[in-house]
Structure 1
Amino acid sequence: MNTAERIVESYFRYCRHCLTIPDVKIPGGNNRQMDLLAWSPKTKTAYHVESTVVPSGRHFNKSKSWKSPLAIFQNKFYGQRKEHQTETSVPAQDDPDFQKVLKTYAKYSFDASNLKRVWVCWHLSDYEVTHDEIITYFEAREVRKELVEIISFRDEIIPALEKAVGTSNYEDDVLRTFSFFAERGKQALTASSHPRA
């Protein structure tokens, strides 16, 4: 897990009160994994979460060419090999790589037809894709719009974690780091309102 993925996992655990399984390996998936599977006991909602957190709004492949989020989804949510990725390809139900994704869901008792697909990005306005285009992309793949969610790392995840933490000694490194930032903010306010003589 990279840093952003760890923060996203903490958000689902502490702010959405989900059980989480990070870095889920896809058997036979050629070094493929899902960033996060999560389940909310309260709402009975299952999530497949993928993150592309790049403040510039650009995600580049090894050849340094920009890839749109829709092409990235082909790999992240449908297992399409990177050399075959296009924005328009709709994987057949019997596609071997897509079947590996479906089998991974089943391994954790997640029903693919009711699984919420979540994409976390820095902020959607940074990308050359609209919310409606993302919904249309998933609807073309038989995922209902209520099962698609886009979360801003900048505007939702960071503020929610900042609000959720105090100054306790959290065992979770992410929350511990956020608690340091929160305490620093409080002390900086106190120091500015009581300047030294």
Structure 2
Amino acid sequence: METTEKIVEAYVRYVRHWATIPNVRCDGQQEIDLIAVDPTSGKHYHIETSVSVSQGFSKLTAKTFDPELRKQRVHQASMRRTLGFFVDHKFGTKAVKDKLAKYGFSESDNHKIIVTWGWTEDAKTAAKIAGIELWDFREIIRDIASEIRDARSYFTDDTLRTINLYVQATEGAARSIRTASNPQEFGRRAPARVIDNQKNSAPFWVYRNSVVRRARLHRAACTYCNDGAGMHRVGSRYNDEWRPFASERDAKAFLASTGYDDAKNCGVCMGPR
């Protein structure tokens, strides 16, 4: 099981609170990365993870998938980054469908998800038509960090513990730098950095991702918000939407209006819902 797959499973279990079964073997030497079931709704999810940070192959594309080109070493990487590869090879084979049926999946209850490092607009459109959800791996990391940032419990899961240690170490390093530059700040948690963006300035923001049906209410100063610029400070390049609100009440009203099961306050800047 690759590290990225472990992180995705940790996200699904800890953040989404779904039951999971990883690495399900099928006939014909095929394997399903992750099966998940939402105990609340009873919905079944088939999740495949393909993450690459290579500049040329990081994004999922809508280019035509050619099984013959996939056999050629020079084209293998590009073919595996096409939506068609997942439709034909990961979700569409008889071996995979037969195995999923044994776990209670059906034609009407088989929610397909691809976790990847970004995607092209064409791939997003094609995935929607094919009934496939796209999850951005970077968003998953951020959501895990947000959920466990203030947790004080001991994580026995190696993946969660590693991310938790990284978050705590990063926070500690930042506090050390602030303390060294201003000893009076010792023991006080400094506010998150805010990007100077007067055009979009507002005290509260709601991040909404219609693809994964997730929404979060943030304060403008939150490191995950940065006045609507997001953690990566690139506006809505990777995110569906950031909406500004003049009051917390209006922001919460919009949060509730999304109708998403996964809609809540940011665990870092707002506290629990």
TM-score range, shorter chain: 0.7 to 0.9
For the 8 Å contact 1:48–1:117, the answer to whether it is kept is yes
Backbone CA RMSD of aligned residues? 2.2
User: If each structure's helix is expressed as a fraction of its own residues, which one has the higher value?
Assistant: 1
Q: What is the CA distance between 1:171 and its match in structure 2?
A: 0.9
Other structure's SS at 2:74 match: coil
Kindly indicate whether residue 143 of structure 2 is the aligned counterpart of residue 150 of structure 1.
no
Kindly indicate whether residue 89 of structure 2 is the aligned counterpart of residue 75 of structure 1.
yes
Q: What is the CA distance between 1:110 and its match in structure 2?
A: 1.6
Q: What is aligned with 1:18? A: 18
For the 8 Å contact 1:34–1:50, the answer to whether it is kept is yes
- C-alpha offsets along residues 61-82 of structure 1, whole Å, 9 cap, x if unaligned? 6603121422321111113xxx
CA distance in 2: counterparts of 1:17 and 1:104, whole angstroms: 23
Kindly indicate whether residue 117 of structure 2 is the aligned counterpart of residue 132 of structure 1.
no
Residue of structure 1 aligned with 2:52, choices 49, 54, 62? 54
Q: What is the CA distance between 1:167 and its match in structure 2?
A: 4.6
CA distance in 2: counterparts of 1:70 and 1:183, whole angstroms: 37
- C-alpha offsets along residues 25-46 of structure 1, whole Å, 9 cap, x if unaligned? 11x2x22110000001112221
For the 8 Å contact 1:5–1:51, the answer to whether it is kept is yes
Kindly indicate whether residue 195 of structure 2 is the aligned counterpart of residue 181 of structure 1.
no
Tell me the percent identity: 31
CA distance in 1: counterparts of 2:108 and 2:146, whole angstroms: 33
Structure number with the bigger relative contact order (C-alpha 8 A, sep ≥ 6) is 1
Other structure's SS at 2:128 match: helix
Other structure's SS at 2:141 match: helix
Give structure 2 stretches of 5+ with no counterpart: 59-68, 184-273
Q: Which amino acid aligns with 1:58?
A: F
Give structure 1 stretches of 5+ with no counterpart: 80-97, 139-144
CA distance in 1: counterparts of 2:44 and 2:30, whole angstroms: 20
* TM-score (norm: length of structure 2): 0.56
Structure 1 runs of 4+ aligned residues shifted over 6 Å read none
Q: What is the CA distance between 1:58 and its match in structure 2?
A: 1.6
CA distance in 2: counterparts of 1:183 and 1:48, whole angstroms: 32
Q: Which amino acid aligns with 1:31?
A: Q
Residue of structure 2 aligned with 1:64, choices 74, 89, 92? 74
For the 8 Å contact 1:167–1:180, the answer to whether it is kept is no
